[in-house]
Amino acid sequence: MGIPLTLTVNGASVTREVEPSTLLGRFLRETLRLTGTHIGCDTTQCGACTVHVNGRAVKSCTMLAVQAAGAEVTTIEGLAAKDGTLHPMQAAFRDCHGLQCGFCTPGMVMSAVDLVKNHNCSTEEQIRAGLDGNLCRCTGYHNIVKAVAQGAAAMK
């Protein structure tokens, strides 16, 4: 039995019926087809599913969609400007090659934006500590940390 759910996703109002057990990450990917939100572990360990809910980073693989009722959700698809101009953090990841396979990148970018906006992280030590809940299996994090620092400078 579905429950009506209304929320704002990437600036657009969305209303759908969802099963009570539907996770936010699955709702975004399977119902709304916003596949930039990656599901890596289903246990909040990897951070690939990170989105913003009311301006704060949330791991969507363990949040129920109904918990986001009435909220503003931003996914990686909604981070860039409407004209396609990349968000400064996205541009920094591109410029600093803060990615390899790209699986963790959306979650890293969303977490990095939160670190800068809500936690004022900008030093290497702060960035490394702040990204502790995001795993990358490909890199040594050097370019990711460099990208976050560059993105932080561009966001200020």
Domains of the chain: 3-75 (3.10.20.30), 88-155 (1.10.150.120)
Q: What is the pLDDT of residues 94-148, one digit of tens each?
A: 999 998 888 999 999 999 999 999 998 889 999 999 999 999 988 779 999 999 9
Contact between 60 and 49 (Cβ < 8 Å): yes
pLDDT at 138: 87
What is the longest distance spanned by two Cα atoms in the chain?
Answer: 49
Q: pTM score, two decimals?
A: 0.94
Nearest to 98 by CA among 129, 127, 55: 127
d(CA 26, CA 151): 29
Separation of alpha carbons 106 and 5, rounded Å: 25
Cβ neighbours for 133, distance < 8 A, ≥ 6 positions apart: 44, 45, 47, 59, 111
Q: What is the pLDDT of residue 1?
A: 78
pLDDT at position 128? 95
Report the pLDDT value the prediction gives residue 85, as an integer from 0 to 100. Answer: 97
Question: Contact 76/133 with Cβ under 8 angstroms?
Answer: no
Residue 43 has pLDDT above 90, yes or no: no
Please give the pLDDT value at position 118.
94
Residue 87: CB atoms within 10 A of its CB come to: 20
